[in-house]
Amino acid sequence: MGTTGATPGRPAGARDRDDAGRARNARPRDGLGRPLPYGAAGVARQPEGIVRTPRQTVAEAQALLDAGRPFHAHEVFEDAWKSGPDDERALWRGLAQLAVGLTHAARGNVTGGARLLGRGAAVVEEWAARSGRLRPHGIDVAGLAAWARELAGTVERNREPVEAAALAPRLRGRRTA
């Protein structure tokens, strides 16, 4: 069914638009970001276009990852990627790719999840090597890259969806007691 057909809970011909008139998909989503039917109960969506400090970005994304909502963490990283300084955009883009890779792995998209995890790991490592910053904003780049490659291998071997919350990475390294 296209965007112009009648959909339960939405009039025929109606398109989802934001306050500025840009097309937006307003369908509710589940915890992994999958669209649900109009009118279904979904989880709260992350607001788009929020400018956060790097510290706020990392804290909010970590809370979402810990809650098993990597798709929503990806949206937080995407805001940082789009609004942050030019010299950090690749870092935030790579982190968004890692979150989307975990999303796909949790949804059961084994191939896509593994590829995005590998791609994100390569992007953050390349950014760290180029910038000379191995722990930007306290982010454990090397640990994240190792986590992503290990998870990609696990996903490819087991060929089953993973539990996002149980396998969420620690952006700033291991938990401390």
Over residues 34-84, the pLDDT tens digits come to 999 999 999 988 888 899 999 999 999 999 999 999 999 999 999 999 999
Q: Name the residue range of residue 61's domain.
A: 54-158
End-to-end CA distance of the chain: 51
Considering the domain architecture, whether residues 39 and 88 belong to the same structural domain is answered as no
Helix H or strand E segment including 66: helix 54-66
Considering the domain architecture, whether residues 67 and 146 belong to the same structural domain is answered as yes
Residues with Cβ within 8 Å of residue 76, at least 6 apart in sequence: 46, 50, 52, 57, 60, 61, 64
Over residues 120-158, the pLDDT tens digits come to 999 999 999 999 999 999 999 999 999 999 999 999 999
Considering the domain architecture, whether residues 23 and 82 belong to the same structural domain is answered as no
* Number of domains within the chain: 2
SS3 per residue for 1-60: CCCCCCECCECCCCCCECCCCCECCCCCECCCCCECCCCCCCECCCCCCCCCCHHHHHHH
Considering the domain architecture, whether residues 93 and 24 belong to the same structural domain is answered as no
State the CATH number of the domain containing residue 103. Answer: 1.10.3450
Last residue of a domain, one of 28, 45, 62: 45
Over residues 94-126, the pLDDT tens digits come to 999 999 999 999 999 999 999 999 999 999 999
Look at residue 45 in the predicted model and tell me its pLDDT: 82
